Amino acid sequence: MANRIGRPTSLSRRTILRAGAMGAAALATLPLAACGPGGNAEHYFRLAETHPEDYPTTLGDKRFAELVRERSSGRIQIQVFAGGRLGEEADIIEQVQLGVIEMTRVSSAPMAEFATPMGLFGLPYIFDDADHMWRFLDADDGGQKLLGEMETAGFKGLCYFDPGARSFYTTDKVITSPEDVRGLKFRVQETAVIMDFIEALGGSPTPMGYGEVYSSLQSGLLDGAENNPPSYYSASHYEIAPNYTLDEHMRVAEILIVNRSVWEDLPAEDQDLLQQAAADAVPFQKEKWNAQVDADMQKLRDAGVTITRVGDITPWRAATQSVIDKYGEQYAEYLDRIDALRPSSQH
């Protein structure tokens, strides 16, 4: 059986075979654990990351790995495989679920197909700004509880990293109002909630892996896509789709996850060590994130990208209200928390 975006709902034989092959390929890259600095490691874990080496989430992963190595005196080694070397995110999540890859930093959007509560972050215009999002992510009865909801799907969620805000970009037409999206083909992350968002605006959503977006924009298969400034810049999408409209429709939390059995096999002290190292990597990642957004916005301006700021998101919210109506009940508990954490409800 396939769900609406065509992903298998249970693991196919092909997936398991591919995962096995991937495991073998990854084992071939094990010199770190077999000899050299990782020779004495009791545990060696691979962490898959889609972004390049110097991207802020990758830097967050590496900080986490470094803290774990230091604090365990080298007993626990985590090697970060950046640049999508181990595969596209949806496949990586399956492999982490199987335990073929132990860890990944991944977007919560594709995770929503494995653990539906994560679909919350695909709902449009729910956070006022980054501070509002972080108040929710840090709340025990908000983001922290939500991290725990991945356990039944086989994942231990360690922490969130800053995802920035996603906005539209297009090859030709400059988008200034919700009506401009009508009739255009947009790449979306592989999850139903975000497909509904594009459909609500009258656009046509095309789910695909991140690594395919550049060539699909280039070949004209897509009219546009959407992402935060560091992704838009680092994946060079701005070269082909040089119109960026800052409506900041979503803050799709980045998550750091571990295969649940791998996690449960660790002694409690090592679990605490990993958990604390993840928590301590968060402020570092946020700092890198904010600096990167500023630097990349400048690079985009220098490259001549047409940047359109959306001053008032009221019409955008109105045009996509049907998405909130459709999923409101399912996510009611968390949406209520998010509302209660708006600055306007803070006193």
Shortest CB 1 distance to ligand BDP, Å: 25
Shortest distance in whole angstroms from residue 227 CB to ligand BDP:
5
Kindly write out the interface string for residues 38-67 of this chain, putting x where it contacts ligand BDP by CB under 6 A and - elsewhere.
Answer: ------------x------x----------
Longest dimension (CA), the chain: 60
What is the separation, in whole angstroms, between the first and last Cα of the chain? 49
Which CB sits closer to ligand BDP, 186 or 210? 210
Of these, 97, 104, 191, 231, which contacts ligand BDP (CB under 6 A)? 231
Contact between residue 117 and residue 323 where contact means Cβ atoms under 8 Å apart: no
Q: Which is nearer to ligand BDP, 254 or 296 (CB)?
A: 254
For the bound state, the minimum distance from the C-beta of residue 256 to ligand BDP, rounded and expressed in Å, comes to: 11
The one segment of 128-136, 151-159, 193-201, 226-234 that binds ligand BDP by CB under 6 A: 226-234
Residue 129: how many other CB atoms lie within 10 Å: 12
97 binds ligand BDP (CB under 6 A): no
Specify the pairing of strand 76-81 against strand 43-48.
parallel
Please name the helix (run of DSSP H) or strand (run of DSSP E) that holds residue 200, with its range, or none: helix 192-200
Q: 146 to 205, contacts with ligand BDP by CB under 6 A?
A: 189
**DSSP of 232-297, one letter per residue?**
HHHTTHHHH--EEEEEEEE---EEEEEEHHHHHTS-HHHHHHHHHHHHHHHHHHHHHHHHHHHHHH
Q: Which of 72, 227, 243, 320 binds ligand BDP (CB under 6 A)?
A: 227
Binding site for ligand BDP (CB under 6 A): 50, 57, 89, 106-107, 189, 210, 227-228, 231, 254
